[in-house]
Structure 1
Amino acid sequence: MIKAAVELNDKDRKSIKEAVENAWQGEALAELQNYVRIPCKSKDFDVDWEVNGFLRQACRKAAEWGQSLFPDAVFEVLTEPGRTPALFFDIPATRDDEAPAVFFYGHFDKQPEGEGWSNGRKPFEPTLESERLYGRGAADDGYNFYAAMVALHALEKAGLPHGRIVGLYETDEECGSRDFEYWMQTCRERFGNVGLVVVMDCGGADYEHLWSTVSFRGAAVLTLNVKVAEHGMHSGLTSGIAPSSFMIARALLDRIENAQTGEMSADALNVEIPAVRLEQMKRYAETVGEGVFADIPWANGTHARSSDPFEAVVMNTWKPQLCVTGAEGIPPVDGAGNVLRSFTKLKLSVRLPPTADGAKALAWLTETLTEKPMFGCRVTVENAHAEGGWNAPQEMPRFARAVADAAQECFGTEPVYCGCGGSIGILPLFDKFFGSPQYLLTGVLGPESNAHGPNEMLRLDYLKKLTRAVAQIVACV
């Protein structure tokens, strides 16, 4: 076996490209289309998921195809009663430098069908239109496993060495990955030393670049309950004497958020943004420009809080933000009488910067909202929980160079590093189990991909480039 990672030459890159494109024009595409046909909805959307066995079927079909490509590898479907299945694989190294393994993560479970599929497209029947594949799970996240296999097999077909490859693909991601840590623990000894984690469940703002996600925000979620009376009262006879619970709730929110600007300035909710992330956000804003605002369905001339794309990106990925996501005690407009309501409940979601301490943020929010209640009313915080965000370790020079070279070769551009305003709760698990590996968080989710919605779409032209890039990166680390 070759003793070290390779430096790719033009012949190597051409061989990878040919192998990848041939696979996605043939067997790999057929396997992915077969996956789309499986109604393997996440278990919360399929009451009889264990009896139906669709999640197990998706894992088994993937394992069979992987085994056909890598006869000496291990592909094992993990099952236990009551737990969603998972697929573990272990592909032997073709070089002997004892480099840390590369770990691949993904998921086979899907969102429900939804409504609004158009032009004869159906969620569980793949529709191929030029370079677009439509179907539930095609982009989120069914393609992931098949792309990983194509990338790795392309290296072997090109005669290029790779280190040991391991992976764990789950079937509960769409409902919170509740069994994932269990399966990680079960396979812990089998993973060995992992140096790079590849997650292809992300995406970017266009199909012209290689996108790499480097941070996710955390979140603190709680229900604020303001109660002023034991029952509702005639508003004409009591308003002005009894305080309004909504007025108090509004005042309490002012304690944590500036209602004029949306800023949440408390130290407990903010962090110092690393200089490298600021530089990456500037590059992202320069690349995307006004596209930062493009996906929001603005109503009646509404505009962004900031017209500066860079500032908008910072607020979306590294600043705390409050959203009121639900309410109780407030009847629908058509059923609302002249009543001074006895209570107002508001469900609050506070997105937190990637490196903020979720527990400390939640403690500050709870104390600030409940201390010294106005007019002696009853203010409580219920169903409170928080999770921290995630910030990728600094890219090591060899890895950063491999990513840059792959982006230039496959896309003709520099890679774009970006943060995500959402959360992926499992990422800290990889730090827990693997120490501080390098991360490649990328994917195919881009404009019109419609993950979770009707007409979910996978751009095959982009997929081919992404698969080539992953293959090159794995070969060079």
Structure 2
Amino acid sequence: MTDITVDEIKSRVDRHWDAIVELLSRKVALAAVSAKGITGDHMRKSAEFVAEELRGLGVDTKVVQSTNPDGTPGAYEVVGSRIVDENAPTILLYAHHDVQPVPDASVWKTEPFTATVEADRLYGRGAADDGGGIAIHAGSLLALGEDLGVNVKVFFEGEEEMGSPSFIPFITAHREAFESDVIIVADSGNWSDRIPSLTTSLRGNTTVDVTVRVLGHPVHSGQFGGPVLDANTVAAMLISSMYDDDGSLKVPGLKSQEPVGGLQRDIDEETLRRDAAILPSWRLTGSDSLASRLWTKPSVSVIGFDAHPVEGSFNVLADSATFRLSLRTAPSQRPEEAQQALAAFLKKSAPFGAVVEVKPLENGMGWAMDPDSEAVQDAQKAMQEAFGVEPINKGEGGSIPFIPELQKLFPQAQVLVTGPEDPQSNAHSPNESISLYGLRRNVVAEALLMNALAR
């Protein structure tokens, strides 16, 4: 740890603030939509932009194109390091430089790929997810300057929004680039733009395709409807059988757990309803704390359903129906185990003797932090000093599968999940934005954290 004070770090961030916002604005303008092709020239330019910015901060960076598991060219990744002392701790800074697409720009109130500041928020696709993470890392390095007391390695990924298919092969091929004592993943968010958070847990995810068959072929609904139900109706009955009367899952073998590190504050129902645009008439489903329902208890969503569209429909009983289920698992449950439990339940619960086939798809493990680790204590103190309020730890209902993979490959490393988002950020949605108040303090917090980790 160097002698640099909290007030000095805050002062340095203030002095460099315009440069930090400018970096983020230029990143938004690159429109690095990986869904348009991870090997595209726009993705290469995005990676080169990030690498060049880091070089200006003393980080020896390069752009490396990954290779997919099938041997085809993969994403453009940014890797690099700044070694200040071989005996000092090494911190790996992670963010991703790819962003979500913009399916309909007309529903945005600003131009999606033009950074626009309104009422202390900067709007633009990728402003929060994860341009904000890049800005936090760059800003903290800028603030520390020559007072940096830790070795820094960086990995800025180019395909996170596409599921990171080449992530593990890339790590395996460049293991030395990831060896570290602490890994800071800046791809999550805070309780609010005024209250900081460490992300304590992430749910896992598993997906299955389910096909329900009731007939050998479609038949006339007037001639055979009554003793035979159409496959769409039977599929709906099968889906509903997963839930009890209050909307809680009742699938045997699906595990739940309490919020990691204890529940410091439950999620406010009014805020949840506003943020999710929940209809006033809707009664929230499930039981126990809202936090546990969103962070550590399993949930199932129907994310796809193959059925004849209403336009052009006619009086026929559908012989089969296929739907896709996404199951969010408790952080500690193996997704393969949950997938098998879900498949067994669906097959056992087939209504009226319908034939149910379950096709297993991808799995992603959840993650839980160690609330007692030294790095966690340092991070919480840094957040309090930066924001002026006690941090409130929070879980995430979503999944970031590479985090448990990183933890498995580097078990000695302490993993911290931070990030630039807040409940109003609208990541993956129209009008994505980042709080400039929160961003400034997140930069200060990470600089303070790296200063503390230098010991």
The one of 247, 272, 281 aligned to 1:301: 281
Match of 2:69 in 1: none
Distance 1:290 1:128, change over 3 A: closer
The one of 117, 124, 129 aligned to 1:140: 129
Distance 1:224 1:190, change over 3 A: closer
Matched, 1:284 2:280: no
Amino acid across the alignment from 2:43:
L
Alignment check: 8 A CA contact 2:258 2:296 kept: yes
Match of 2:364 in 1: 387
Amino acid across the alignment from 1:64:
E
Give the distance between the partners of 1:169 and 1:445, measured in 2 at CA. 17
Match of 2:26 in 1: 34
Alignment check: 8 A CA contact 1:117 1:455 kept: no
Q: Secondary structure at the match of 2:164?
A: coil
Matched, 1:230 2:221: no
Give the distance between the partners of 2:269 and 2:278, measured in 1 at CA. 17
> Shift of residue 403 of structure 1?
2.2
Q: Secondary structure at the match of 2:137?
A: helix
Q: What runs of 5+ residues in structure 1 fail to find an aligned partner?
A: none
Cα deviations by residue, 1:344-383 (Å, 9 ceiling, x for unpaired): 2222222211111211111122222224855543221125
Give the distance between the partners of 1:178 and 1:324, measured in 2 at CA. 24
Distance 1:224 1:118, change over 3 A: closer
> Shift of residue 139 of structure 1?
1.5
Give the distance between the partners of 1:168 and 1:140, measured in 2 at CA. 16
Cα deviations by residue, 1:432-477 (Å, 9 ceiling, x for unpaired): 2211432221222124322223332222221110000011111112
TM-score normalised by length of structure 2: 0.90
Moved more, 416-425 or 378-387: 378-387
Amino acid across the alignment from 2:120:
E
> Shift of residue 417 of structure 1?
0.9
The one of 50, 55, 61 aligned to 2:49: 61
Match of 2:64 in 1: 78
Give the distance between the partners of 1:92 and 1:313, measured in 2 at CA. 40
The ranges of structure 1 where at least 4 consecutive aligned residues each deviate by more than 4 angstroms after the TM superposition are 116-120, 372-376
Give the distance between the partners of 2:243 and 2:349, measured in 1 at CA. 18
Moved more, 29-38 or 369-378: 369-378
User: How many residues are paired up?
Assistant: 448
Match of 1:152 in 2: 141
**Equivalent residues in 2 for 1:82-161, closer than 5 Å:** 82-94=73-85, 97-99=87-89, 101-116=90-105, 121-129=110-118, 131-157=120-146, 159=147, 161=148
TM-score normalised by length of structure 1: 0.86
Amino acid across the alignment from 1:29:
V
The structure with the largest alpha-carbon Rg is: 1
Q: Secondary structure at the match of 1:31?
A: helix
Match of 2:313 in 1: 336
The one of 317, 340, 346 aligned to 2:323: 346
Match of 1:356 in 2: 333
Matched, 1:432 2:418: no
Match of 2:451 in 1: 475
Distance 1:373 1:128, change over 3 A: closer
Amino acid across the alignment from 1:381:
V
Give the distance between the partners of 1:319 and 1:120, measured in 2 at CA. 35
Q: Secondary structure at the match of 2:207?
A: strand
Alignment check: 8 A CA contact 2:198 2:380 kept: no
Alignment check: 8 A CA contact 1:257 1:322 kept: no
Give the distance between the partners of 1:346 and 1:444, measured in 2 at CA. 35
Give me the identity figure in percent: 27
Matched, 1:413 2:389: yes
Q: Secondary structure at the match of 2:442?
A: helix
Amino acid across the alignment from 1:261:
D
> Shift of residue 334 of structure 1?
4.2
